[in-house]
Amino acid sequence: MPHSWTVSDQLHWVAGRRPDATALVDASGEVSFGAFHRRVQALAGHLAPLAGGRVGLYLANRREWAEAFFACQLAGIGVVPVNDRYQERELRHLVEDAGIGLVVSDGAAHRGDVLAGLRGDVDTLLVGDAYERALAGADPARPRHHDESAVLYTSGTTALAKGVRLTQANQALGTFLGPATLLAMTAADTVLIATPLGHRVGQVRLLGGLLTGARTVLTSDARPGTLVDAVEQFGVTVTGMVPTIARDLAFSDTRPGPRLASLRVLSVTGEAMTAELRERVAGMLPGTELWTFFASTETGLATALPPEQFTARPRSSGRPLPGVELAVHDLGTGITGRTGSGEILVRSGEPGSYAVGAGYVGAAAQSPFTDEDGWFHTGDIGVLDEDGWLEITGRSKDMILSGGFNIAAQEVEDVLRQHPAVRDVAVTGEPDERFGERVVAWVVTGAEGGATADELRAFTGARVAAFKRPRVVRFVDDLPRTATGKIAKWRLSGAPATDAGEPLR
């Protein structure tokens, strides 16, 4: 694929071939490829003065998110997707770290309050009258090539999210190797996206739908019943979900399977699945191709487990995709090999040239992105056999994966330490039947007074996205520590505690 390829080039080509076909459907109605492309060109013209800079997208899943994404690609602007649940602290970090010059937002729900707190620190363009005036008053933009497509922020084991730079080549690979090649998506498909577009997998699904000429349906409501309604209403043929939602459907008393009969492909990915869950999903959708993948923001798609192996290899995440290499790094010996157990490493040519992103931006750019041999260290622990089949068995102790979201324990700890009643705190994850893991806070209160679990959850939820808020708060007299003074989190499960939990959503 030529170096000059961009996602806006592909949209231009598809819109020229299918101008009257439906491109997108959301709560506001549907729009054709021709009309969508014209709106993208107009918005790109309005944004043109920001060429070479970055624009934040702080929106729920809706048509304007897609318009702004493609407009930035056309105008030579890097996109910084923002999780639409983020609070002011989290958005401010992205604005400062990535150098965001403008935030496009719908200003709905809590997002209006967050933007009010940032007033004067960053320009905004709100969906609605201001957004439509911007489109009406702009001349269509001339294409401007910019190798950076997007900067995606991901929670690692550090306190603040790190921005990963994705190139046009990264987007091309994600679009065509995944949706177009593996899932065989065409203009005959209808794609449903409930995955947040701020995630790399959400963008893969969006680009896969639009750039193959399929009809794409957007929703921000990922509740199982709503998804079933959408599949039935629109005759959806391709969609994806996290295992939490798949479990809700597979173990539902309402037998949703017949209403999902139009599904040709379902990908279930984002966290581990039990053998029982795989069997239940397969039994619910006997005529549907079921896929799962191992992927991350930094690596993109690394492995794929095809439908014929979905239940036959119940613990596997598949084998490496073409052009992607895997290795395992033995944490005990420090030896890296192509088989065995240890930390999973991923490599795919020079960073930014294929699947693996181009590197970190902002403050995180000071640390190495890959090791001296070009391997990205995922932090996931697994087993790689002689035939290349990968099984994920664990991950970094300071990373919690709940309902498909990565949560850095340190970030939650840093917020809780700001509460005047908290003398010390450790945050861990523990197994949860529905969400995979739940966030648990182990809290030592000060002598001057205590705090209730509800107070600490509310305090945290006002400063970070709701999915990071502790679901369980356990009050302890002290935290166990190693000889060097580090908190021994592996010993907390046996610590005497007063358990204050919150019903899981």
* pLDDT of amino acid 449: 64
**Residue 428: pLDDT band with limits 50, 70, 90:** confident
Q: Which carries the bigger pLDDT value, residue 301 or residue 379?
A: 301
| Mean pLDDT of all residues belonging to the chain | 90
Q: In this structure, are residues 403 and 435 in contact, taking their beta carbons and an 8 Å threshold? A: yes
CA dist 194 and 245 (Å) reads 11
The per-residue pLDDT for range 98-118, each reduced to its tens digit, is 999 999 999 888 999 999 999
Which pLDDT score, from 0 to 100, does residue 314 have?
A: 93
C-alpha 396/C-alpha 371 separation (Å) is: 18
Residue 268 located in a structural domain: no
Residue 441: which domain range? Answer: 399-501
Domain final residue pick, 147, 167, 187: 167
The answer as to whether 407 is a domain residue is yes
Examine residue 201 and state whether it is found in any structural domain, yes or no. no
Q: What is the pTM of this model?
A: 0.83
Burial class of 496 by CB neighbour count within 10 A (0 to 12, 13 to 18, 19+): exposed
Report the range of poorest mean pLDDT among 83-87, 126-130, 261-265: 83-87
Give the up-direction half-sphere exposure of residue 373: CA atoms within 13 A in the CB hemisphere: 12
Which residues is 164 bridged to in the sheet? 152, 360
Of the listed ranges 99-103, 242-246, 483-487, the least confidently predicted one is 483-487
Q: How many domains does the chain have?
A: 2
Tally of CA atoms within 13 A in the half-sphere of 329 that contains its CB: 16
Domain-ending residue, one of 115, 141, 167: 167
- The domain boundary, picked from 167, 186, 214, lies at 167
Confidence of residue 404 (pLDDT cuts 50, 70, 90): confident
In a domain, 322, yes or no: no
For the stretch 381-391, pLDDT in tens is 889 999 999 99
Phi, psi of 303 (to 5 degrees): -135, 160
Q: Is residue 143 part of a domain?
A: yes
Q: What CATH number corresponds to the domain at position 106?
A: 3.40.50.12780
Residue 453 lies in a domain: yes
Residue 135 lies in a domain: yes
**Domain-embedded: residue 373:** no
Question: What is the domain-level CATH number for residue 460?
Answer: 3.30.300.30
Q: What is the pLDDT of residues 147-157, one digit of tens each?
A: 999 999 987 55
